[in-house]
Amino acid sequence: MELPFAEPYKIKVVEPIYRSTRQEREAWIAEAHYNLFNLRSDQVYIDLLTDSGTGALSQMQWSEIMLGDESYAGSLSYHKLKDTIMKLLGMPYFLPAHQGRAAENVLFSAMLKAGDIVPGNSHFDTTKGHIEYRRAIAVDCTIDEAADTSLFHPFKGNIDVGKLEAVFQQYPKEKIPLCIITITNNTAGGQPVSMENIRKASEVCRKYGVPMFLDAARFAENAYFIKTREKGYQDKSIREIVLEMFSYADGATMSSKKDAIVNIGGFMACRDKSLYQKASVFNIMYEGFITYGGLAGRDLGALAQGLMEGTELDFLESRIGQVALLGQMLHDYGIPMQQPTGGHAVFIDASKFLPQVPREQFRAQTLAVELYLEGGVRGVEIGTILADRDPITRENRYPALELLRLAVPRRAYTNNHIAYVAACLKNIFDRRNEISKGLVIVEEAPIMRHFTVELKKA
Ligand code: F0G
């Protein structure tokens, strides 16, 4: 018989997690104002809130932490990371930052001004937040197929090159400082972007003289999907694919808390020395000197090591395989979700799961609360609450998709945990017709409200 694929690591350290009762959870979620961000972590049994900063470090990463050079300037850990970024991504200039959004802040401070237009494929919420805060506009040019959750498309994260070109034709070049391609496309469901699409987008950007940047939080997972789904890449190594993806880009920001499997860290990288010099000033103001950027030397070392581990095929196979396992179990139970499953998460289609709950009562948040009550599992709403209000009309923005994201941390949970989560959702699916009311907002912040919003039962 063919041997099944199993993890290329074993567990050396364990962290106990508390299995609460439903009664406890009912009290805790009411105290948290039905916002899962307000829960204490010991009130959560399985935490699928995010795959960001929640992965398990390897013994080699812990060794790097011991080797961390804490020199203020020119630390060896910095140089280790700089060499890794050059070798892996081919980017000659880089600035460390304490996480992805900090790298966005540094880059956008150097590149954006009020009134600018930044096209891309579903900018992540912090990216959009940083753009809109500067009174610039993020234009989502993702392919229409991404909005149809039941449609199978191998690269649902793609940018629609026609829509992108239309933006370039509508606005003068001076108003479009950059285009951002997010790999994988988190907002559309952790969906990959094909190499062909990255290349074509870069050709259009070049034609109009606009630099193309990658939001590379999950670049290695994107490379894995290219290897397994795109013609001509089966025999290429993950690192060859990574180098090719980056060869089309003028620069990148990265939240290293994802594919570099660290608890904190990020960076921006670019090819243009003058942009690097301009951004360095902002890095020093916001993050710290250019050779540490808000991180300890040990963090830089763990990040360099994590970039190498995150681009190993065996690791990616087990990681994306575990997410696919969750997707398959839910699919077998008939639960509607974004197909195919993404790299880091399963995205459940809450509008199809709970169509009877009015859209104004936040279907995905309602489902997230139900899942917590059922089994102590924490997911996150990727829907109307996350989408914020329109900056001009202040009306709720109803996105095409109302999703509950279950993001799987790297190397942290076993397949038994995955089966438990799937069983929780099946129980809710079986009694879905009993859920007719959702939630309403009591308090909200003007921007990025989902982190702090307070809700009550409708
Ligand atoms: N870009 C993408 C595609 C992301 O998914 C994130 C974070 C960021 C940028 C910002 O990075 O958190 O290090 O500041 N995503 C997390 C998530 C929070 O749960 O998906 P950060």
pLDDT in tens, 206-232: 999 999 999 999 999 999 999 999 999
Who's near 416: CB < 8 A, 6+ residues apart?
none
Is residue 150 pLDDT above 90, yes or no?
no
Q: 260 C-alpha to center of ligand 1: Å?
A: 13
Active site residue 217: yes
Is the Cβ atom of 379 under 6 angstroms away from ligand 1?
Answer: no
Using DSSP's 3-state secondary structure scheme, residue 346 falls into strand
Please state at what angle helix 59-67 crosses helix 76-89, rounded to 10 degrees: 140
Is the Cβ atom of 266 under 6 angstroms away from ligand 1?
Answer: yes
pLDDT in tens, 189-209: 899 999 999 999 999 999 999
Q: 52 C-alpha to center of ligand 1: Å?
A: 7
Active site residue 215: yes
- Give the mean pLDDT of 158-168: 98
Q: Is 59-310 in the same CATH topology as 22-51+313-457?
A: no
Asked whether the whole model's pTM tops 0.85, one would answer yes
Domain definitions of the chain by residue range:
22-51+313-457, 59-310
CA distance 381 to 367: 9
CA distance 280 to 95: 7
Q: Mean pLDDT, the chain, as a whole number? A: 96
Is residue 38 pLDDT above 90, yes or no?
yes
Q: 103 C-alpha to center of ligand 1: Å?
A: 11
**Which pLDDT score is estimated for 4?**
85
pLDDT in tens, 325-358: 999 999 999 999 998 999 999 999 999 999 999 9
Is residue 24 pLDDT above 90, yes or no?
yes
Which residue among 126, 140, 187 has the greatest number of ligand 1 atoms within 8 angstroms of its CB, and so is best to mutate?
A: 126
Task: Output the residue whose Cα is nearest ligand 1's atom 20.
Answer: 50
**Which pLDDT score is estimated for 390?**
86
**Which pLDDT score is estimated for 168?**
98
- Given 3.40.640.10, 3.30.530.20, 3.40.50.1370, 3.10.20.740, which CATH number is that of 59-310? 3.40.640.10
Is residue 56 pLDDT above 90, yes or no?
yes
Cα 116 to chain centroid distance, Å, stands at 24
Give, rounded to a whole angstrom, the gap between the first and last alpha carbons of the chain: 54
Comparing CA positions, the residue from 358, 399, 394 lying closest to residue 382 is: 399
Residue written as token pair 């963090």: 299
Is residue 125 pLDDT above 90, yes or no?
no
CA distance 181 to 194: 11
pLDDT in tens, 370-401: 999 999 999 999 999 998 888 789 999 898 88
Is the Cβ atom of 186 under 6 angstroms away from ligand 1?
Answer: yes
Task: Output the residue whose Cα is nearest ligand 1's atom 16.
Answer: 52
Active site residue 450: yes
**Which pLDDT score is estimated for 149?**
86
Q: 317 C-alpha to center of ligand 1: Å?
A: 22
120 sits in which H/E element: strand 117-120
**Which pLDDT score is estimated for 447?**
83
The CA distances from residue 354 to 46, 140, 331, 365, 368, in Å, are: 23, 27, 16, 11, 11
Using DSSP's 3-state secondary structure scheme, residue 218 falls into coil
b/e per residue, 177-191, with b = 16+ CB within 10 A? bbbbbbbbbbbbbbb
Top-level class of domain 22-51+313-457: alpha beta
Percent of the chain with pLDDT over 70: 100
Which residue among 50, 181, 255 has the greatest number of ligand 1 atoms within 8 angstroms of its CB, and so is best to mutate?
A: 255
> Which atom, in ligand 1's list, is nearest to the CA of 344?
20
- Output the six-digit token pair for 304: 């360099």
